[in-house]
Structure formats: C-alpha cells, structure tokens
Structure 1
C-alpha cells in the first residue's frame, strides 16, 4: 500500500468538480498487434478546458483521454489529472485531485501533470501552487513544447513502452511527427512505472510486454 497520507476532507468548490462519465469511454475489440485497440492503462483527466489531455493521450499509446470526466465504467480506472501551469488552472487541479481522492471511490488518482504554457521558469505564485499539490500526490512537470502547436493532433508520433528514447542533440531535433519529444516519453515511462506498482490493479495487454500486477496479485492468493 502507498505511504502517502490522504488529506483531511474539506469542502470543495462545486464549480470546479468533474462529473462521472455516463457511459464507458472505451469500447473497442482488441486486435493483436494493434495497440490502438487496447484498453488504456490509465486515463488523462482534464482539470479544465484546454489542459492537453487529447494531445497527451495521442502521444502516449497506453493512455486514454477522459476529457473532463471520471472514467468510472472502465476496466482500468487509474487517473492522472492534467492542468496548465497557471494559478487558476492549478487551483482547479487541486480541487479535482481532492475530489478524485475523497469522493470518487472507484478511481485511483496517481498524480497530476502540470503542462508549461510558456518557456522559462514559473512565476513564484505558480511554483507555490505546485508545491501545494506535492504532499498530496505525484506531480510531473512537462516543459513547454512549441512544436506541438504546429501539428494537428492526429499527425503526432506515438510512444510505446519499450521504445528507445534518443536523448542526443540530434534526436531532440526530430519532428514530433516522427518521434515523441524526450520529455513526453520520460513522462510515459514514469507513469507506466507508477501504474504497474503494487498499489493499483490494472489489466495489461500481454502484447505490451509487461506482466500485469493484477495477475501477479491473483497468483499470490
């Protein structure tokens, strides 16, 4: 079990909270060797409009895009909240995170991705808001990636677990159409590692090359 202590229950701002999905978000017949048909290992949940869930779910093959809802009807209900690096956005992320931890018992929120809106360092107020989140969950900070603003989402490259990440200067200059940015690939690696930890039960397609912790735990019983 996780050593992280959940925060005390506090009154949440109803204006910031998300609805539960009315129906399943993923309904696809699994086709061997076609990763696009595999049920997501985790879901990106947007704390606000324009957070970037669709872009991230496109770049990271194991992820699903839950939009602005909780994926309560899915086989795998592990969630990562996404928010832009601004004070209003992070305040919404804080509220959504607490909602997922305290009020939506059927999901597991394992972290928050903070997406930079501009290059350079964050203003102190933004840093302070991020620091408020750190005791509550894992926080991943994703750098500003200008190239993502130049390409249609459906043209973006896709990362799969096990893909080699080219961290050379030449590799970093490759178009986002050909290869996922290094920082996004590293984010995928860290989320996959978190999802496959001992605390969360997920179904992992064997084609991805991982053993399912759900199968491991069932084998121990």
Structure 2
C-alpha cells in the first residue's frame, strides 16, 4: 500500500472528516441534492441531534427518523439551516441504485457542494428484501463505504408491511437493548437499537474532535 493511499484511507475513516475536494469526482449539477433552508422540525422535547438524508426516494428516511428519537427527517435535501442540526446520516437502500445514489451524496459532500456546516456522520443501508445480499451489490457496497467513516446496517423487517409509522417505538439514547424477537410495536428492532447507539457514539466522537480542534486553535 502506498503512503498516499494510506493517508487517504485514514482521512476518510476519520468520522466527519472530508476528503480533499479536488480529489473527488462530484456528481453533475442535475444529480445533486437540493438544500433545505428552513429549520428541521422539532417533534420531541429536544431539538434533533442529527438529520436523516435520503440518497434517493424510498430510502426509509421517515421510518428511520421515527425509530431514532433524536433524529429528524430531512427528506432528499441537505439541511442548510444552522438553527437546527447539520449533522447528517445518509440513508439508502442496499441495492445497486441505492448505492449509486449514496455514492453521489457522499461525493457531493466531499467535494464541498453540500451547505456550509454540514457534517456527514455515516451511511445507513437498509435491506430491500430478506435473505442474502447479491454478490455484485456486496462488492459495490465495499467501494461506496470507502467514502464514509461509519456504516450502519438495517435488516429486513417484515412487520413494517403491517404497521403504521405511528405504531413504531422510538429508540432514545441509553435505552437498554431490546429483547430478541420483540414485536416492533413494543420495542425497536435490535439492529435499529445497535445503529442508534453507534450514531450517538459517533456524535460524541465528533464533538470531542471539534473541541480538540478549537483548543488547538485558541491562542489563550
């Protein structure tokens, strides 16, 4: 492995850090995500800690944002308002079209084309069907995940086809893990809990990184 490649991988895997914009092939203007200039909705007692951005239509942003109590659904648009969080989890389906769209959103951010202040925490990939992921999709997933520090995986949950969104239980930080095979109307699925806890941990890591950067830049 060359030294240049090693430095590039280290930079990408550092959660919340962008690659050098000049090294990234950005998607063409017609394939870039719009900006949301309004503040994100506050649906709970506290402002959201992170936003769920859909890389494409049908990326399950509303379901994920409902499952994760500290999250807000920002649809297909980057959160441009500093009045609410600009920490972002990109959501996509685990299929070729979903991965291609996710790669575009991630390259867009690395190229400096997202709104000022946006930080991508990670990428959440949701299954499109039960069973094994096809080999070509698995191979391309490995390519796409090199563009982001953290990847969170959500499996197929057949119960979602029989539930209203309002029937789903929320994950909150520090909630204990749910029991196995608990219905989704009484507990979040274990993979949703695991991903939510990982996102909260990544947010804490980013906050420490920003504090350390501020301390190093403070002349006092």
The normalised TM-score by structure 2 is: 0.81
Size of the alignment, in residue pairs?
Answer: 197
Q: Work out whether 1:143 is the aligned partner of 2:152.
A: no
Instruction: Please list the CA deviations of residues 14-64 of structure 1 after superposition, one character each: whole Å capped at 9, or x if unmatched.
Output: 3432101031123x5xxxxxx813111111000111101110110111111
Structure number having the greater helix percentage: 2
Q: CA deviation at 1:217?
A: 7.9
Alpha-carbon shift at residue 81 of structure 1 (Å): 0.5
2:141 maps to 130
Give the alignment of 1:30-49 within 5 angstroms. 36-49=44-57
User: 1:17 — aligned with what?
Assistant: 32
Distance 1:25 1:86, change over 3 A: same
- Residues 1:4 and 2:11 are matched in the alignment: yes
- Rate the CA distance shift 1:40–1:216 in 2: closer, same or farther, 3 A: farther
By how many angstroms is 1:114 displaced? 0.7
The DSSP-based 3-state class of the residue aligned with 2:44 is: helix
1:106 aligns with 2:117: yes
Structure 1 segments unaligned to the other structure (5+ residues): 29-34, 202-212
Match of 2:87 in 1: 78
Could you tell me how far apart the structure 1 residues matched to 2:213 and 2:27 are? 35
* Corresponding residue number in structure 2 for 1:121: 132
1:153 to 165, 175, 197: 165
CA contact (8 A) 1:43 1:78 kept: yes
Aligned to 1:210: none
Structure 2 partner of 1:204: none
Matched, 1:52 2:60: yes
Evaluate the alpha carbon distance shift between residue 217 and residue 154 of structure 1 in structure 2; reply closer, same or farther with a 3 A threshold: farther
The CA RMSD over aligned residues, in Å, is 2.4
